Amino acid sequence: MSRLAGIGLKCDGNQYDDMICMEHPTSRTHPRMKAVDRAAQFAPFAALNGFEEAIRQAQEKNQGGQDMITMLNRKSVYIGHDMKRFSEIRNLLAEEGIDYKYKVKNQMGEWSGEHGTVRSNMGMLGQDSSLDYEYEIFVHKDDYEKAGRLVENLK
């Protein structure tokens, strides 16, 4: 009986025992790679700046008890490029006691506030820099109607 018996595989003399019952090779010189690092090699966006930060944030959210259910229970009340309006809406929601979350995304494909490339730091010729960042504000779906009215009435 091999160590594979614990997972339901038996080496009982069939024609594939030579492959099934082999030990998995482990290197004596290279340490085992962490699952996160291994995933980064195969993730389609692993080459983008901010991948490590995205992993860290996901781990923090999971540790803090926030999970996918939180995302499903919220709705967007604002998406735009106007930082002043973004700030006004956040202040209004706070004054009204409505909890909100927000996301700021750099349109150059990088998350804001972290690492950058020359292109993302300098912009592109002919592009309006006020459109570089997209702001989005989310509220709980129970507060969506009230928040929506407040945002509509804000001028």
Long-range contacts from 151-155, C-beta under 8 angstroms, 24+ separation: 151/77, 151/78, 151/89, 151/92, 154/85, 154/88, 154/89, 154/92
Q: Which residue has the higher pLDDT, 103 or 8?
A: 103
What DSSP letter does each residue of 58-93 carry, written as one string? HHHHHHTT--HHHHHTEEEEEEES-HHHHHHHHHHH
Q: Is the pLDDT of residue 115 over 50?
A: no
pLDDT at 124: 55
pLDDT at 77: 92
Mean pLDDT of 2-20: 67
pLDDT at 33: 83
The pLDDT mean for the chain works out to: 73
In a domain, 8, yes or no: no
How many of the other CB atoms lie within 10 Å of CB of 52? 14
pLDDT at 116: 40
The tally of domains found in the chain comes to 1
Q: Is the pLDDT of residue 125 over 80?
A: no
Structure tokens at 137: 């504000």
At 57-108, the pLDDT tens digits run: 666 655 555 445 566 788 889 988 888 999 999 999 999 999 998 888 876 6
In a domain, 3, yes or no: no
pLDDT at 108: 61
Query: What's the CA gap between 113 and 115, in Å, rounded?
Result: 7
| Percent with pLDDT over 70 in the chain | 57
In a domain, 135, yes or no: yes
Which H or E run includes 40?
helix 35-42
Q: Which domain holds residue 91?
A: 16-153
In b/e form, how buried is each residue of 97-119, taking b as 16+ CB within 10 angstroms? Answer: ebebeeeeebebebbbeeebeee
Q: What is the pTM of this model?
A: 0.47
In a domain, 141, yes or no: yes
Structure tokens at 88: 């006004």
In a domain, 119, yes or no: yes
In a domain, 100, yes or no: yes
pLDDT at 1: 45
